[in-house]
Structure 1
Amino acid sequence: MSYPIVRHRRLRGSQAMRNLVRETRLSMHDFLYPLFVTEGTDVRSEIPSMPGVFHLSLDVLEAEIREIASLGIQGVLLFGVPSHKDEIGSEAYGHESIVQRATRAIKGWAPELLVVADTCLCQFTSHGHCGVVKKDERTNNAYVDNDLSLELLVKTAVSQAEAGADIIAPSNMMDGYVLAIRAGLDEAGFEHVPIMAYSVKYASSFYGPFRDAAHSTPQFGDRKTYQMDPANAREAIREAESDVREGADMLMVKPALAYMDIIRELKDQFDLPVVAYNVSAEYSMIKAAAAQGWIDERSIVLETLLGFKRAGADIVITYHAKDAARWLQG
């Protein structure tokens, strides 16, 4: 049976028509906003490579939190910048450590705002690696001790949950990290606290400004032994599948902009929320071009964030969150 050729009308005329048939929608409710909390008083220091992003001490944090909540942003992702660092990152899991104190304060100021705690050691170790570094006595080469690192990461996650963190977000990429943290949280009575797994975290060049912000540049070597090769896509599915089996509740792709194909793969393969991390260099490149007058910052940012959503992201972690929320409400 043959069908006549039908010419479809292009539903692109008025803005009302475009709104009516829009397939993908972007909202301030999609965003998590990263924050860098630090020791000291009266600290609101702009990060040179990330215009508009600041190191904030706890005494000036309240105003920031109330602004974020007023914009309809659903939560913050907390990174701690401690005054003391050591070989084992002990400030990551102390009851009075910076992330734990910030979490308790935020839940007091804005109980409805979700606190997502970054669970890693790199900001807290003197060497800048995401775990405990040992030396191979045969070769004299340094390596990250995976199992010992897991013990400390579990302690960190439990201390963050005790402080009131709503979501644990382990960014360390140690083997078996989701299973270990899930078991540790459950044993400590935090079965209800979900894990946002950094399931697909590439060894990317897009992290440069973040390492300035978190003071977490490795003092030797790099993180390629525990972060993924940017050339690999099938490996991303294996990594995510492993995290699903171990008990992850959300699956992250980091970075986002160069890896939209991976976001789509995870969305198609798994029935869990997918998180896109719009990382520091992706943010800074737009800021730099906008400062030169080469691009329209608002339209570029909103188009980029919409692209993450169209690719399949349910949640977008972005340093643009406050600006984007204002633009979406304007």
Structure 2
Amino acid sequence: MKQRPYWQRLRDSRFLLLLLLPTFIYFAIFEYGPMFGIVVAFKDYNTFAGVWASEWVGLKYFKIFLFDNPDFLPLLRNTVLIGVYSLLWGFPAPIVLALLLNELRNMAFKRLVQTVSYLPHFISNVIIVSMVLIFLSPDGGIVNRFLGLFGVEPIYFMSLPEMFRTIYISSGIWQGIGWGTIIYLAALTTIDPNLYEAAELDGASRWRKTIHISLPGIVPITIIMLILNIGGLLGTGFEKVFLLYNPLVYDTADIFSTYTYRVGLLQGRFSYATAIGVFNGVVGFLLIVGANWLAKRTRETSLW
């Protein structure tokens, strides 16, 4: 069958394209428009002179950040470790919860668990961090009160560098597990029920059906979500880290985004901060392209 001309297909899809228009405008103004500011990374930016009148310095600030900055390796280590630990512990959590919920037969209880689990997603990071600080407070916090029942002295969790990553990642799992579960539950509904019936006739247990039917059925969406998460490995959120950390835990908590905030906005080194942001963006782009290529080669499932 001969394919219709492109302009004809475009005309037939005009209403769908019209629906897409607000999203396109949003991304054009707020996502792609600001990318013009990347040029600041290659200039010795002067606020009074403006972007174009500022002197070109090429890769000067990239060199300073990558090779002449003693903070680069600690920042890279902290950013990568927080990203990798979040991926290792946070990525499987909604998958496990979705598989467990899929096995529930009590629909009322299932809806209750879903509602309770995804409610934290709608709470702002400011509230989440405030709750974490209250729970972990050495002066009457619920965690220290519980530990006190066993004779443990109050622990100043937020002043211990070795505890920061655990606090950040565990609170992130609590905040995002329910919302992520929605995606995998939706994927589970696309699996043919006849497969479960056939497995049941063959005497397969619930565990066997989960391993051999449910898990393979959500592999495509799992791979896509994994690719997206890998792409954001160095893009650990600024807001939550900024609200949680303090100078006592900089050794394990300071990451690229918080460092960029301090040198860019607080110290006024705009070109240097922009160079850090560009470096972070380029590495994230390479990670997502690499992960997509690997997924396409191994599982024939990818974003493009």
- Give the TM-score range, shorter chain: under 0.3
Higher relative contact order (CA closer than 8 Å, sequence separation 6+)? 2
Select the structure that is richer in strand.
1
Structure of higher CA gyration radius? 2
**Scaled by the length of structure 1, what TM-score is found?**
0.24
**Scaled by the length of structure 2, what TM-score is found?**
0.25
Select the structure that is richer in helix.
2
